[in-house]
Amino acid sequence: MEPPASDALARIAGDVVASPDAGRAMRAWRDRLGIKQVALARALGISASVLSDYESGRRPSPGVQFVKKYVEALVRLDEGKERVVSKLVSSGDDQAILSIGEFPAPLEASKLLRALDATVLAGDPDEVKLYGYTVVDSIKTIYALSGYDFYRIFGATTERALVFTKVGMGRSPLVAIRVSQLKPRMVVIHGPREVDPLAVELARKEQLVLALSGIPTDEALISSLREVQEKEAEARRAP
């Protein structure tokens, strides 16, 4: 039995509203569902240029009512296609996702890498801003999650770091990202002492930052990420 449309609406709207960049989050969901910008703009009764302005951040952050209409239109258009929303919302096993978080403001990738005691293998972290992170068990992610469930690890936005634990040589996570339509901005692998050269090559082809974390345990890694998230939130609250 498929979940009701209200579940899909709540899930997507919640992701958008909670995101520090609502426009990016809206576009990320539209990309996941394979819906063209022109088709969505037509369903909303606005021009494609106006919709593009919202998604790119050129217009002020949309209000709750616009987000509601946007998500309703997405779900309605999806119902006439492949019903991706239903498959995303009716998620299977959450055990592959060990931790997920969003930052209250864009965070320099280099700052996160320092917290993870990570060595950069590809890409330039000084040019990357992150809006969140997801820590996944690489074995369960590759072998247990379906193609649709794989999208769930991107949370509210693809502008994030994916951290893979229990990695052998790093090839499988990069291959999975290579064939996925959605790409993170940065990939951190945890587990091996050295990384397969193919993983580094794939990261360069995808123009991703790739790094190897030297933190000893999964628990310490997750704790470090949460500490960064909490410090950033406190800094935003400070007068």
4 confidence band (pLDDT: 50, 70, 90): very low
Same fold, 5-89 and 94-237: no
Q: Edge-to-edge, what's the strand order for the sheet holding 97-108?
A: 97-108, 129-137, 160-165, 186-190, 209-213, 118-122
Can you tell me the mean pLDDT for 56-79?
82
Query: What pLDDT, in 10s, does the model give residues 91-112?
Result: 444 567 888 888 888 899 999 9
CATH topology of domain 5-89: 434 Repressor (Amino-terminal Domain) (1.10.260)
What CATH number labels 94-237?
A: 3.40.1390.20
Q: Is 65 exposed, middle or buried (0-12, 13-18, 19+ CB in 10 A)?
A: exposed
Sequence spans of domains, the chain? 5-89, 94-237
Residues 40/12, Cβ–Cβ less than 8 Å? no
User: Which pTM value belongs to this model?
Assistant: 0.62
